[in-house]
Amino acid sequence: MTGRLYVVGTGPGSPEQTTPEALAAIAASHVFFGYGPYLDRLVLRDDQRRVASDNREELARAKDALMTAASGEQVCVVSGGDPGVFAMAAAICEAIEAGPPAWRALEVTMVPGVTAMLAVSARAGAPLGHDFCAISLSDNLKPWTVIEERLRAVAGAGLVIALYNPISKARPWQLGTAFAILREVLPWTTPVIFGRAAGRPDENIRVVSLADADPATADMATCVIIGSPETRVIERPGLAPLVYSPRSIGAIK
């Protein structure tokens, strides 16, 4: 039997946000590799088995999955959100590039998913309505100085910024430092959205100004979206506000 590898994004956590394509790939697979909490979202058959590993072991997980697929198995590597956004698709590609020729001969399918910034944006309104970027605040794989340079550059360019991996027990200070950097460049009235667990039962979406943005509000289940100077908030009596970024510069004054 010829092995195959699927790299699947299950979305931000709600079963309704897992795509039919992802469900089909899951149904076709026999061995599943992933971070334990992501694998816990799956409902597997008796003939399907899971291999859980720590969230910091992406490259080792990728190599194990490729070796298993090369042995003839139908393998699924599972990510939350979209596997191509700060997740397993890049780790799989890195492993293939540095690995044996047999891995390059495998049929590999990247299956997209709803990434956190899209789920949070949908809950808040349309903050990604004009140009935007995504930055991971984790400095595990890149120097913090590079993150600081990028934050200043994109804020100065007027991009909306989605921050992934904003804070953790091992990295308690980065988000506060990021807010301090952004306050040097952006108006302090700029809207900031804290989107925690979007689509899940414990969802919490909060909108504050950059001046009032408190890093203690976030955890690793949070995606933080910082607006641009153009981003606006529509207050609605009795309803959550709508945050949006106009499609054109200077469209509304």
Give, for 65, the enclosing helix (H) or strand (E): helix 58-70
pLDDT level of residue 170 (50, 70, 90 thresholds): confident
Q: Are residues 154 and 223 in the same domain?
A: yes
211-222 pLDDT, tens digit each: 999 999 999 999
Tell me what percent of the residues of the chain surpass a pLDDT of 70: 98
Compute the C-alpha angle 70/74/79, nearest 5°: 100
Domain count, the chain: 2
Order of all β-strands in the sheet with 49-53: 49-53, 31-35, 74-79, 4-9, 107-111
Report which residue type is found at 85. V
Q: Are residues 29 and 50 in the same domain?
A: yes
Q: Are residues 122 and 191 in the same domain?
A: yes
Across residues 5-11, what is the average pLDDT? Answer: 97
Average confidence score pLDDT of the chain: 95
Compute the C-alpha angle 224/227/232, nearest 5°: 125
Q: Are residues 131 and 92 in the same domain?
A: no
Please tell me the pTM assigned to this model.
0.94
Please check whether residue 250 lies inside any domain of the structure: no
177-197 pLDDT, tens digit each: 999 999 999 999 999 999 999
